[in-house]
Chain A
Amino acid sequence: MGEGKGEGGKESPVEKQNQQDAAGLAVTDFIRRRSEAGLLVTAEEIYGEFLRMGILTEKENQPAELEAFLKKTVKQNEELKEVLDGKGLSHYYSVQSMAETYARILIQREGDPLLLMAEVIRENSQRYPRPVPLNIFEDAPFELTPEQILFCLKKMADEKEYQDIEQTTTSIGTVFLYSRQYLEPDHAAMLAEWLDVGQSNNP
């Protein structure tokens, strides 16, 4: 990485290190800004950005070199994390601006929405514990379409591995989802009502 030349046209080790450091900072900054905006970053996107910024020029093997540089940078920099999507493609984020929870949702969103919904429902049911309002899946970062959500709900009702996922509806008609593996129906219903109605009725 880097194309500076030292005396006699060859890069000195110091110059090379400086260029590596500068590139590392540029990478970190770019990933951090994208993370603040709620986005993961791929090597390809970094490459495109660096071309745009003039940090790199188009060259054969450049993308592969960049990828290797990224992996090295991530290894050395605690701030940066790598996550793989379902196809094995690396995505990067900055822990300074993005939590692992959010990164995981973004990665899962690239894959099967059914798996995404199920994991979110189960995790919430176990950890907090509480049910999850159905409408959350239409908003960022999930951004599932109503058709996708309906399709997933039907699948969850039909398929064996999702039989733990159930619905409860509050007194004002809001649908919540929970996993029966972690929440009993009465408890889930009570929590849904509390979150949706009770808390605002008891300001």
Chain B
Amino acid sequence: MAKQGGWAGKVLRVDLSTGRISTEDTVEKYKDYLGGTGIGYKVIWDEVSPGTKPFDPANKLIFGVGPLAGTGAPCNGRTAITTLWPTCWPNPLVASGHMGGHFAAELKYAGYDAIIIEGKADRPVWLSIIDGKVEIKDARPLWGQGIRRTTLEVNQQLGPEASVAAIGQAGENLVPMSVVMNSYSHSAGGIGAIMGSKNLKAIGVRGTGSVYIAGNKEEWEKVIKLHLSLLGANNQHVVPNKPQPWAEYYSAGTRWVAARGNKWGAADPSIDTGACDPHNLNRIAYRTNNAAYFLGDRAWKYTVRGNGCASCPIRCHTMLKVPAVASKYGIPEVGQNTCAGLNFGRNFFKSFPDGPRGETAIEACMVGMHLADDLGIWCNYGQMQRDFVKIYYDGIIKNKVSEAEFKSYSWDKYEKGDPTFLFELLPRIANKEGELATALGLGTGYMLERWGIPEEDWRKDYNLVYWKMGHPKHHSNEDAGQCGVIINTIYNRDVQCHSHSNFIRNGLPIDVQKRLAAEIWGSADAVDAAGAYTPMNVYKAKMAKWSLLRKELHDCLSLCNWMGPWVASPLKERGYRGDDSIESLLYSIATGDKKSREELDKVAERIHLLHRALTIRDMGTKEMRSQHDTIPDWVFVDKSNKPPFTKGTIHMDRGDIEKGMDMFYKELGWDEATGAPLAETYQKLGLGYMIADLGKKGLLP
């Protein structure tokens, strides 16, 4: 039999209760589920009974990577971590967190495609993986340390090349709003406390192997070159934010911010990012500066460089050096993160004395990163911060905590936008000190339950952008109208899908987007101009399906859904087309398992269906439409009472969305009345073995 490429070949299974360490053959057992979340969902289905709670030893934690991790494929640095989710309210269900960095590649080089963590150690431990040598080591000296110190200590034992995924005090203290982090700034939210509940402080992995590519070397290099040529800036924005000599189009909102005169000012010597013609593949890393994107032009002078994941040229984590914070706050001058992580500290405050893009906002980001990324606190895509603003200014905190506790916070500092306030709040969240910190650390759903606040209050509030089950929206109608709304109904935490928003925000004019949409989803009507939405149609349902399946596929292959799919490109000579087959081309050559785009999408659909089945099984109901796939009221509200489908509003129409859900379910082969997959759908997608069990439990329509 030809040697299998892509996969490392082994899944590592570690039982922390018994200390037993074993391996399984990846391809033999999990090939039909690819990797990443696919392996995760399969393990949860097979091995974790309904009713298991997140912190039960019976819960499992699956660190899964895909066959493309550790190869030269661009944007392949992702690890998907699947488990029963601690912030999923009112009942925990399966979900996954994702982290970038170097962990995925190192795990593959060590010879593993996944690690299944089972049971619970009787004392703090950390997992040491050096190629084939796997040991459970004593973590008592590490327990109580932050992520930084832990990482340092583990690297001292394994060597500087090792990749360390560690939890901080928040995870140790079973704060559900906690992360695991690797490579300094790459975190997976929601996982920290699961590791903490198993007394697992860290996983350190050192791999000296490599990933075998089954296919022809020239073909592989050709596809890599093609993929690189199609890349835009972060989030696959394919148009610069200002006119550039080479660019036919430009758009103020894109993340392609490189330009002559825009310099990495804190680099020594400073580096001019330049015009970055898209044909120059050596300058991809200069295109994006997420600090400048979020914090304004002021951030350029503090930018050292971009950083990021293994094999990714985008470098979306901006490294900042802000000398003032050392003396002002006693924290390191250097910090690094992206998006919600970068803005962690800033987002707690309603305002700053010098505005949202002033020096203070930058300092708040630095303080936030310093604290949160060491304590290991998760923000739930900014929901914690939005909740905090609301519960403070609505007087809820004052009502719910004791007077003594309320007075122990410097609220005057908070109201003034003083970043030192974060030193009072964040450590308390990590250490569960006090009612406020404890409630915030539970996540939104459990906080509301604890304080007797109806979830309805959150579902009506336009500013909170809360969706359901304890989590916020993640690129919904503000990005892609009905397509975005549909997408946000499906998962058990915020959906983390960017397939649709990457396309909508790519910066191309609407006529070009519509031309591409017609090619990809069958009609120009699949997309609308921003704020000029039109009624639902079947092509929007197809786009929603495609978006979700590609997200699932990326999470299984170890490709980054914050970048892909790559259906648009910055290349005028291609008509700004990308290539919708990139994933299947890479997969086929790497593994030797030739699959067309359609065939690989079918595998993704199988894995996505497995997630749906798990949700149905563990909710104990097939009534997904009414009980799971719900949509908050604020989606249907416009502050100026503009009717839906008028220009300048993004709010949706209930009847139109119901139609949309009908169309979406039909696209997926799910029953329109219940939203539950039909038996023939399970059969068609290779999950026929589930039918009997689901049928017995009355979970089939």
Q: Is B251's CB under 8 angstroms from A36's CB?
A: no
| Further contacts, 4 of them, CB under 8 A, given A128-B510, A129-B529 | A38-B275, A101-B248, A102-B246, A129-B532
With known contacts A127-B511, A129-B510, A194-B531, A172–B355 Cβ distance under 8 A = yes
B247 within 8 A of partner (CB)? yes
With known contacts A130-B251, A172-B357, A186-B647, A98–B246 Cβ distance under 8 A = yes
Q: Interface digits, A172-197 against B, CB 8 Å rule (1 contact, 0 not)?
A: 11000000000011111111001110
A129–B508 CA distance with the chains assembled, in angstroms? 10
Residues of B within 8 A of A (CB): 242-253, 259-261, 275, 277, 293-294, 339-340, 343, 355-357, 382, 465, 475, 478-479, 505, 509-511, 529-532, 572, 640, 642, 646-650
A13 within 8 A of partner (CB)? no
Q: Is B277's CB under 8 angstroms from A36's CB?
A: yes
Q: Is B510's CB under 8 angstroms from A189's CB?
A: no
Q: Is A130's CB under 8 angstroms from B252's CB?
A: yes
Closest to B254 in A: A199
A202–B260 CA distance with the chains assembled, in angstroms? 28
Q: Is B505's CB under 8 angstroms from A199's CB?
A: yes
Q: Closest CB of chain A to B120's CB: distance in Å?
A: 35
Q: Is A97's CB under 8 angstroms from B277's CB?
A: yes
Contacts of A195 in B (CB 8 A): 251-253
A130–B260 CA distance with the chains assembled, in angstroms? 24
Contacts of A99 in B (CB 8 A): 245-248, 572
A203 within 8 A of partner (CB)? yes
Could you say which of B252, B356, B382, B650 contacts A133, with CB atoms under 8 Å apart? B252
Q: Is B253's CB under 8 angstroms from A199's CB?
A: yes
Residues of A within 8 A of B (CB): 35-38, 97-102, 105, 127-130, 132-133, 136, 139-142, 172-173, 184-191, 194-196, 198-200, 202-203
Closest to A131 in B: B252
Q: Is B245's CB under 8 angstroms from A98's CB?
A: yes
A145–B364 CA distance with the chains assembled, in angstroms? 34
Contacts of B357 in A (CB 8 A): 172
Contacts of B243 in A (CB 8 A): 101-102, 105, 136, 140-142
A58–B552 CA distance with the chains assembled, in angstroms? 68
Q: Is B242's CB under 8 angstroms from A194's CB?
A: no
Contacts of A199 in B (CB 8 A): 253, 505
Contacts of A101 in B (CB 8 A): 243, 247-250
With known contacts A99-B246, A102-B245, A128-B251, A186–B479 Cβ distance under 8 A = no
A-B residue pairs, 10 tightest by C-beta:
A186-B648, A187-B647, A203-B339, A187-B648, A195-B253, A38-B245, A99-B248, A190-B648, A190-B531, A127-B509
A186–B478 CA distance with the chains assembled, in angstroms? 15
Contacts of A196 in B (CB 8 A): 252-253
Contacts of B382 in A (CB 8 A): 203
Closest to B476 in A: A202
Q: Is A184's CB under 8 angstroms from B647's CB?
A: yes
A8–B247 CA distance with the chains assembled, in angstroms? 51
With known contacts A132-B252, A195-B253, A202-B479, A36–B245 Cβ distance under 8 A = yes
With known contacts A99-B248, A101-B248, A128-B251, A190–B277 Cβ distance under 8 A = no
A189–B639 CA distance with the chains assembled, in angstroms? 14
Contacts of B572 in A (CB 8 A): 99
Q: Is B252's CB under 8 angstroms from A190's CB?
A: no
Could you say which of B248, B479, B648 contacts A184, with CB atoms under 8 Å apart? B648
Contacts of B244 in A (CB 8 A): 38, 102
Q: Is A200's CB under 8 angstroms from B275's CB?
A: no
Could you say which of A100, A140, A194 contacts B260, with CB atoms under 8 Å apart? A140
A189–B531 CA distance with the chains assembled, in angstroms? 10
Contacts of B253 in A (CB 8 A): 194-196, 199
Q: Closest CB of chain A to B469's CB: distance in Å?
A: 19
List 20 A-B pairs, Cβ < 8 Å: A37-B245, A38-B244, A38-B275, A98-B246, A99-B572, A101-B243, A102-B246, A127-B510, A128-B529, A141-B243, A141-B245, A184-B647, A186-B649, A187-B532, A190-B648, A191-B530, A194-B478, A196-B253, A200-B294, A202-B478
Q: Closest CB of chain B to A176's CB: distance in Å?
A: 8
A178–B243 CA distance with the chains assembled, in angstroms? 17
Q: Is A97's CB under 8 angstroms from B647's CB?
A: no
A117–B36 CA distance with the chains assembled, in angstroms? 50
A100–B243 CA distance with the chains assembled, in angstroms? 11
A140–B572 CA distance with the chains assembled, in angstroms? 22
Contacts of A172 in B (CB 8 A): 355-357
Q: Closest CB of chain B to A124's CB: distance in Å?
A: 9
A187–B642 CA distance with the chains assembled, in angstroms? 11
Q: Closest CB of chain A to B534's CB: distance in Å?
A: 14
Contacts of B532 in A (CB 8 A): 129, 187
Q: Closest CB of chain A to B177's CB: distance in Å?
A: 18
Contacts of A133 in B (CB 8 A): 252
Q: Is B248's CB under 8 angstroms from A100's CB?
A: yes
A13–B642 CA distance with the chains assembled, in angstroms? 75
Q: Is A203's CB under 8 angstroms from B260's CB?
A: no
Closest to A98 in B: B245
With known contacts A130-B252, A195-B252, A189–B648 Cβ distance under 8 A = yes
A200–B292 CA distance with the chains assembled, in angstroms? 11
A142–B250 CA distance with the chains assembled, in angstroms? 14
Contacts of B275 in A (CB 8 A): 36, 38
Listed residue (B248, B250, B572) with the most chain A CB atoms within 10 angstroms of its CB: B250
